[in-house]
Every structure is written in structure tokens, then in C-alpha cells.
Chains A and B, each alone.
Chain A
Amino acid sequence: MEDAFVRFDKVQKSYDGEILVVKDLNLDIPKGEFLTMLGPSGSGKTTSLMMLAGFEPATHGDIYLGGESINNVPPNKRGIGMVFQNYALFPHMTVAENLAFPLKVRKLGAADIEAKVQRALDMVELGQMGGRRPAQLSGGQQQRVAVARALVFDPSLILMDEPLGALDKQLREQMQYEIKHIHENLGVTVVYVTHDQSEALTMSDRIAVFNDGVIQQLSTPDDLYERPQNSFVAQFIGENNRLHGKVAGVSGDECKVELDGGGEVVAKTVNNTASVGERTTLSLRPERVEIEPKKGQTDNTVTGEIKELIYLGDHIRTRMEVAGNDEFIVKVPNSAGNKPLAEGAQVKVGWKAEDCRALDPMAV
């Protein structure tokens, strides 16, 4: 990509000279994109962010910002706004002084500073809070101040390191929308780090799923959810039923798989990797499974036993044993036509071949 605003080029990072925390990271981020680095802890996502911010040097490779290599540019010369996990609001300054900090550093005039601070406070709906200390604000308000402070000096790139981690669920969801709207209104580029997949799905234009120092998949949220490229992504994003087996035959982009727990199903091959005799893990979303399907409605039909029913209002979460997997989840919509289910009952479940993806084998 020629017009990449941020570019990681063959970046590697090691802290101790023995383990690579980031292995060969190549990533292009166009201007104005909201890109999320998603992954479990220790996957290298925060390290990548810190290298972009300039707090950690890359052991190998180059990072470009606006076409220029910034490897040797100190963090204060990069002009990147940053929101930290614990907000890092300066406790000995008022909210207004916190916001004025980056402007004072840039030696703006007092009137100019005041106007910009007020505008930033208004943007996060904290116009009256300028005189307070961070400790006098609630977690959500502190969070907004942190966002405002990262934006107040009009950086073209904002980094956010798990900024919503400390908030409760309701506030977190509200802030997700607010940050998303700020991003849409200002058109800044955002690189966002989180380990919360639903947060990533809600906010991002694209998501880079990290594991073990490598980007496992880089796609839009719907692509990531519906077309995971490997079994790590499939199990990390959303809920996922896994069935283990061996490829028995391949035809076009579909393959026959002999399940370990008995039975044979048809699945969609991914990246044309499956060849006869190889082990594979099938990934299947719970909401794509039908209970007692009509004939011809699904490509695959398997019998399973209902182990547990959990009533969740809009749907009934049904745990079943299917082909040796007793954690097989089916989401049964709570609609009028469905006949009641009973624990211990034997029922048929079915799904379409295209909803079942044959991915790389995972340890059973």
C-alpha cells in the first residue's frame, strides 16, 4: 500500500534477547482508519503500540509515520496522542491544566490555550469540570478527560492502550460509542489496543488479531467473525463450537470430514489447505446450528444429547454433546413455533456446509 499513514515494516521486538515478543510485524494503516490490535495478554499488541509511540525501540525493522521512518524520533517529537490504560492524568494538576499541558509544551498563547481546552472539554461533555482535580472525577469522566487530552493538540494519530479496561460494563459500552463517534467526527487515525473482542468488533474499521507475536488475521469485524482464517481466530472471536476430525475427501472448496466422535460432515475448506488424510478442526458458530432441521434445509445432520438448558430471555442457550464434544453450544431462538426442549433428550442438529469451516487442527 503506497498511501499507508502508519507502516510497520518487518518489525521485530525482543526484551531479553531470547524470546521474540513481536515476530516479523508487517502492517499498513491508512489515514483515518480505526484499527484495533486485539489479542490475549502477551501476544505483542501492547508492545507494538509502545514501539509506535516511541517508548520501546524496535529490535529490528522500521516503523513509518506519514512516509517517514520514525525509528530515531523521540516520543515527544512524534506528535502522537495517547490514551493510557490507567488514564495517566496528572494528579497534581486540574483537569484544565492537564488539557493545557500539551499546548503549553508547544508554547501556544494563553488565550489560544484556553479556547482549545474549553473546546476539548465541551467535546467530551465536561465543560464545567475544568477546575476539578482528576481524583474528584468518576472513572468515566477521567476516561473522557484522557481522551480529550490526547486530542487537544490536534494529533493526526491517536493511540489507545486498553482505555476502557477499568470501567464497568455499562459505562464501557457507552464510551465505546463515544470514542467511535469522536473518531468519525474528527477523522483522526486511531490505533486501539484491547483484549476484549466485543469492544474490537463494535468500534473498529479493521482488526488485527495478535497471537504469539504474529498477526493471525487482519480483516474487517464481520469478515473476522464469519470467515476466520485459522482456529485461533475462530475461538478468540465470538463463541465457537469445535469438532475435531480427519479430512476424508476434497471437492472444490468443500471437504468431507470424518469426525472423531463418529459421523461424517461436509465443511468449507479455508485457504484450500485441506488434503485427504490430514487432521482438521471444524469451527461452527452456535447461532448457525439448527435444532431438528427439515430435510434438505442443512447439508449436515448429526444426533446429539441435550446436557443443559439456560434460559436467557431472547434465546435459550443449549449445551449438547455432539460427536464427542460435550461443550457444543446451540442458541435456540425463543420464538413461538419452537417446541420445548428437555435435558437428556436426543435431538438432531444440522448446519450448512458453508457455515462450518475446516481450519488448522487444534490440540484436542
Chain B
Amino acid sequence: MSDAAMGMNQAANSGASSGPLIAADGIPLKQKLAKTTRRMKIQAFMLTVPLVLFLLVSFVLPIGQMLYRSVHNPTGSNVMPNFAVAIKDWDGQGLPSEEIFEVFVKDMTAAKKNREVGKTIGNLATRVNYEIPGSRSLFTKTARKTKNITEGPYKEALFAIDKRWDSPQLWLTLQRVTNDYTIAFYLAATDRKFDEKGNIVLADELYQIYLPILWKTIWLSALITGLCFIIAYPVAYLLSTLPLRTSNLLMILVLLPFWTSLLVRTSAWIAMLQTEGIINNVFVYLGFISDENRIQMIYNMTGTVISMVHILLPFMILPLYSVMKTIPPSYMRAARSMGASGTYAFTKVYFPQTIPGIAAGTLLVFILAIGYYITPALVGGSDGLLISNLIADHIKKTLNWSLGAALGTILLVVVLIFYWLYNKLVGVDNLKFG
């Protein structure tokens, strides 16, 4: 601060009527207050330091890395550093120039010798194969032969190895692949791709997998949330109106599954629902169905829905219960005394007051359901899979981490959109988790 500004500041402070309030010793009151509360603030901050560090390391950094990985993939430039620079400014018309071909051939020969993880021809071939299925063999085959090309013209020499190199689309793809930053994985995650001219188009219907699964995940989550609500509301109402002793006992029954391992609960559903399982056996025994027509209730969508409703039910009951508990019975009585029938009193007086609990419960269940992994993985079969299972697949099996990260980011965005919608409709201030 300049001297003049300081002077003005002091002048403002000493002007008792217009300036800020001043403490007894002449220091502005705000400054004084900040000084006296600083110690408390530092103390409060210190108390949260372990948590902040933990969150930073275990939550913020991984998510940041995931977001970064979904747009950043340096495989191309790692394998072919010189070519990546050379083709960067190519205008994309026809085929690249002879010089670029020369750099390409030399980079390829060099890369063939490279054994460093992430920098081999195999890595590049995999990466290009995401974009042009079936192109993998072209790279491995070519890499074996480029060391024989010692002088130009490199273009013709490359065409001689494989005719497929004479394709502008392939070189466009290579230009994109050697660029470290790409939206290709987001396109793949939303079933889109670049066409021959580099435009973004929807993939053929046969190859669309992620969008349909994402929609299915959303509507299945909505279905599960709805079923949870229908089952939980009466239960929560009963719990909140019973005498404390009984309601505590019933509450333990609600929480009991909570305390059981998720894996055990899901496996229990397998035992219950499978074609040779308890429910089917009982149905056959009672004569509802014949022995040959046992119902397929597991390893499909039905299995996923049934076991997820069961597992997520407590997350709906608890917020509803905690809100209902605070609604005194006198409200319903007042409504009744004023002439309202039981149904009318319920819909106009009781139900509106439970909305904060409904909001919290549905939001909680929906968000948990949309990212649920274990249960659909165990009982989902093929048509009960959710988006999180695909993400896990890419992280663990295909090792296409960038695509997994892009899918994960899309899921995160979807959840945030729903949260925002919710805030618009219900108001987050109205949420009551317990």
C-alpha cells in the first residue's frame, strides 16, 4: 500500500461518524476482532488438517488424475517423439509430405528397439487400434521391416511394405493419436467417432454400447429409488409412530443388513433367487410354476433390481424416519379436528412435511445406485450390468484407463446434473439426512 493510501486509510478510521468502528485502543474494531478470533480459527483449521490431507491424497488427487487422464494420453508422442512434432502442423490434405514420411520411418525403426514400458510399438498399435479397429497388425508388421529402409523415397518404401499406408484417414488418425491431448475417449464413451474427414459422428448402431448402458443405469437407478421409496415410506411411518421400545427393536432389524457384509447379502440373494434356489423351489412345491419353467430371477436385470433395492433400503428409511420423528402427532390431530378425513389430512398436512426426508432419501439412494458396482457385477449377468461395471472393465481388464476415466467423468457429471436438478426442484437446504 502506498503512503498516500495509508494516510487516507487512517483518515477514514479516525473519522468517527463515517468510518468503521474503532476499539478502545484506536485499532479498527474489525481488525481487533480478527486478531482475537485468529487463534480460534487457526485451532479450528489445525483440527481439520489430518482430514484435509487425507482427502487431498485419497480423493482430490485421484479424481484430478482421472479427469486429466481422460483427456491426456501421451502414448503416441512417447513412442514417436520426432514424428509427433513433424506431423503436428500438417494441414490434413491428401497424404503428408516426403519429409514427414522420413521422420515416421526413422521413429518407427527407433521405437522397434525400445523396450521401455509404455513406449513400444505395441503401445502405439493398441492406441491406434482404439480408433481404427484391426489396424494393430499393420503396425507390428511394418515395424519389423522399416530397419531395411535406408534411403528415400520413404513414401513408396512404406507403401511397398503394406498398401494400407496409402490412406489419408490413417495419417489423420496418426496426427490425432500423436497429439497428447485428445477428446477421443469422450467420443468413444458417448459412442461417437471421427469419420474419414475428421468429423465427429455417431458410431454405427451395432457398436453403440456406452450410451445405452448409461441410459439403462439412469432409469434402473430411478426404478430402484422408486421401489425403495414405496417400501420405505410406510415402514418409516410405522417406526416413527410406534412406542420407543418397539421402534428401537424394529430399527435394529432395519439396520441389521447394514451391519452384514455386502458380499454376504448379495450372495444370499443368489441362493434365494437362482433357478434351483429357495424361491423357485417354493413356487414349484406350491404348484405356481412347473419344474421346467423355473423363473430366471438372477444374473439379469431382475436380480440386480431386487438385490439393490434390498441393499439400499436403509438409506431411504433412515432419512424418512428422522424427518417423520420430528412431526408431532398433534398436526394430524389438528387437521382431523378441523374436519379433514384421514386421507385428506395425510396428503395435505403430513406428506408435505415429509418432503425433506423424501428428498434426502431419494437423492441418496439414486446417487448410490447410479454408481453401484459389486451387486450388479455379482448378480447382474449381462443385461443387469451398469455403467460402473464397464468402467471397472476398462480399468482392470482392457487396461484402457483413459476410456475408463472418461466414462467415470461422465458418470460424475451426470450425478452433478441430477444434484443440480434436485437443488432446483427441492432445494438442498430442504434435505434432511438425519
A binding-site residues for B, Cβ under 8 Å: 53-55, 74-82, 84-86, 88, 90-92, 101-102, 105-106, 149-150, 153, 159
Residue from the list B333, B342, B349 in contact with A90, Cβ < 8 A: B349
A86 and B340 form a contact (CB under 8 A): no
B333 and A105 form a contact (CB under 8 A): no
B339 and A102 form a contact (CB under 8 A): yes
**Given A82-B334, A86-B328, A150-B337, 10 more pairs with CB closer than 8 A:** A55-B336, A76-B341, A76-B342, A82-B337, A84-B333, A90-B334, A90-B353, A101-B335, A101-B338, A102-B340
B337 and A80 form a contact (CB under 8 A): yes
Instruction: Evaluate whether A106 and B331 lie within 8 angstroms (CB atoms) in the complex, with A91-B353, A92-B352 already known.
Output: no
Residue of A whose beta carbon sits closest to that of B350:
A90
**Number of residues in B with C-beta < 8 Å to the partner?**
19
Bound state CA distance, A153 and B337, in angstroms? 11
Residues of B within 8 A of A149 (CB): 334, 338
B173 → chain A, closest Cβ, in Å? Answer: 60
Q: Does B54 contact A (CB under 8 A)?
A: no
Q: Does B330 contact A (CB under 8 A)?
A: yes
Bound state CA distance, A159 and B348, in angstroms? 23
B333 and A55 form a contact (CB under 8 A): yes
Residue of B whose beta carbon sits closest to that of A55:
B333
A148 → chain B, closest Cβ, in Å? Answer: 12
B266 → chain A, closest Cβ, in Å? Answer: 40
A105 and B352 form a contact (CB under 8 A): no
Q: Does B344 contact A (CB under 8 A)?
A: yes
Residue from the list B333, B341, B345, B348 in contact with A82, Cβ < 8 A: B333
B20 → chain A, closest Cβ, in Å? Answer: 32
A48 → chain B, closest Cβ, in Å? Answer: 15
B339 and A106 form a contact (CB under 8 A): yes
A76 and B339 form a contact (CB under 8 A): yes
B binding-site residues for A, Cβ under 8 Å: 328, 330-331, 333-342, 344-345, 348-349, 352-353
Residues of B within 8 A of A81 (CB): 337-338
B344 → chain A, closest Cβ, in Å? Answer: 7
Residue of B whose beta carbon sits closest to that of A146:
B334
Residues of B within 8 A of A78 (CB): 337
B408 → chain A, closest Cβ, in Å? Answer: 39
Bound state CA distance, A159 and B328, in angstroms? 18
Bound state CA distance, A82 and B333, in angstroms? 9
Residues of B within 8 A of A55 (CB): 333, 336
A selection of 26 A-B contacts at a CB cut-off of 8 Å is A54-B336, A54-B337, A75-B336, A75-B337, A76-B338, A76-B339, A76-B341, A76-B342, A79-B339, A81-B338, A82-B337, A84-B334, A86-B328, A86-B330, A88-B334, A91-B353, A92-B352, A92-B353, A105-B338, A105-B340, A106-B339, A149-B338, A150-B337, A153-B338, A153-B339, A159-B337
Bound state CA distance, A266 and B337, in angstroms? 53
Bound state CA distance, A84 and B333, in angstroms? 9
A225 → chain B, closest Cβ, in Å? Answer: 32
Residue of A whose beta carbon sits closest to that of B353:
A92
A94 → chain B, closest Cβ, in Å? Answer: 13
Instruction: Evaluate whether A101 and B337 lie within 8 angstroms (CB atoms) in the complex, with A84-B330, A88-B330, A91-B353 already known.
Output: no
B331 and A88 form a contact (CB under 8 A): yes
Residues of A within 8 A of B342 (CB): 76
Instruction: Evaluate whether A88 and B328 lie within 8 angstroms (CB atoms) in the complex, with A53-B333, A82-B334 already known.
Output: yes
Residues of B within 8 A of A80 (CB): 337
Residues of A within 8 A of B334 (CB): 82, 84, 88, 90, 149
A88 and B338 form a contact (CB under 8 A): no
A293 → chain B, closest Cβ, in Å? Answer: 53
Number of A-B contacts (CB under 8 A): 64
Residue of B whose beta carbon sits closest to that of A81:
B337
Among B328, B339, B341, B353, chain A packs the most CB atoms within 10 A around the CB of B339
B105 → chain A, closest Cβ, in Å? Answer: 75
Residues of A within 8 A of B353 (CB): 90-92
Instruction: Evaluate whether A75 and B328 lie within 8 angstroms (CB atoms) in the complex, with A90-B349, A92-B352, A92-B353 already known.
Output: no
A243 → chain B, closest Cβ, in Å? Answer: 44
Bound state CA distance, A77 and B340, in angstroms? 9
A101 and B333 form a contact (CB under 8 A): no
A102 and B338 form a contact (CB under 8 A): yes
Bound state CA distance, A295 and B47, in angstroms? 80
Residues of B within 8 A of A102 (CB): 338-340
Residues of A within 8 A of B338 (CB): 76, 81, 101-102, 105, 149, 153
Residues of B within 8 A of A54 (CB): 336-337
Residue from the list B333, B339, B341 in contact with A88, Cβ < 8 A: B333
A105 and B328 form a contact (CB under 8 A): no
Bound state CA distance, A76 and B339, in angstroms? 4
A203 → chain B, closest Cβ, in Å? Answer: 21
B298 → chain A, closest Cβ, in Å? Answer: 43
Residues of A within 8 A of B331 (CB): 88, 90
Instruction: Evaluate whether A105 and B344 lie within 8 angstroms (CB atoms) in the complex, with A90-B331, A91-B353 already known.
Output: yes
Residues of A within 8 A of B344 (CB): 105
Residues of B within 8 A of A82 (CB): 333-334, 337
B337 and A53 form a contact (CB under 8 A): yes
Residues of A within 8 A of B345 (CB): 76
Residue of B whose beta carbon sits closest to that of A161:
B330
Among A79, A80, A92, chain B packs the most CB atoms within 10 A around the CB of A92
Among B338, B341, B348, B349, chain A packs the most CB atoms within 10 A around the CB of B338
Bound state CA distance, A53 and B345, in angstroms? 16
B342 → chain A, closest Cβ, in Å? Answer: 8
Instruction: Evaluate whether A76 and B340 lie within 8 angstroms (CB atoms) in the complex, with A91-B353, A92-B353, A101-B335 already known.
Output: yes
Residues of B within 8 A of A106 (CB): 339
A101 and B328 form a contact (CB under 8 A): no
Residue of B whose beta carbon sits closest to that of A74:
B336
Bound state CA distance, A338 and B340, in angstroms? 63
B430 → chain A, closest Cβ, in Å? Answer: 11
Bound state CA distance, A211 and B268, in angstroms? 58
Residues of B within 8 A of A90 (CB): 331, 334-335, 349, 353
Residues of B within 8 A of A159 (CB): 337
Among B330, B337, B348, B352, chain A packs the most CB atoms within 10 A around the CB of B337
Bound state CA distance, A84 and B341, in angstroms? 19
Among A79, A105, A149, A150, chain B packs the most CB atoms within 10 A around the CB of A105
A101 and B330 form a contact (CB under 8 A): no
Instruction: Evaluate whether A101 and B336 lie within 8 angstroms (CB atoms) in the complex, with A85-B330, A88-B331 already known.
Output: no
Among A88, A102, A150, chain B packs the most CB atoms within 10 A around the CB of A88
Residues of B within 8 A of A75 (CB): 333, 336-337
Residue of B whose beta carbon sits closest to that of A85:
B330
Bound state CA distance, A88 and B350, in angstroms? 12
A17 → chain B, closest Cβ, in Å? Answer: 15
Among B336, B345, B352, B353, chain A packs the most CB atoms within 10 A around the CB of B336
Among A54, A81, A82, chain B packs the most CB atoms within 10 A around the CB of A82
Residues of B within 8 A of A153 (CB): 338-339
Bound state CA distance, A101 and B353, in angstroms? 16
Bound state CA distance, A53 and B348, in angstroms? 21
B51 → chain A, closest Cβ, in Å? Answer: 34
Residue of A whose beta carbon sits closest to that of B344:
A105
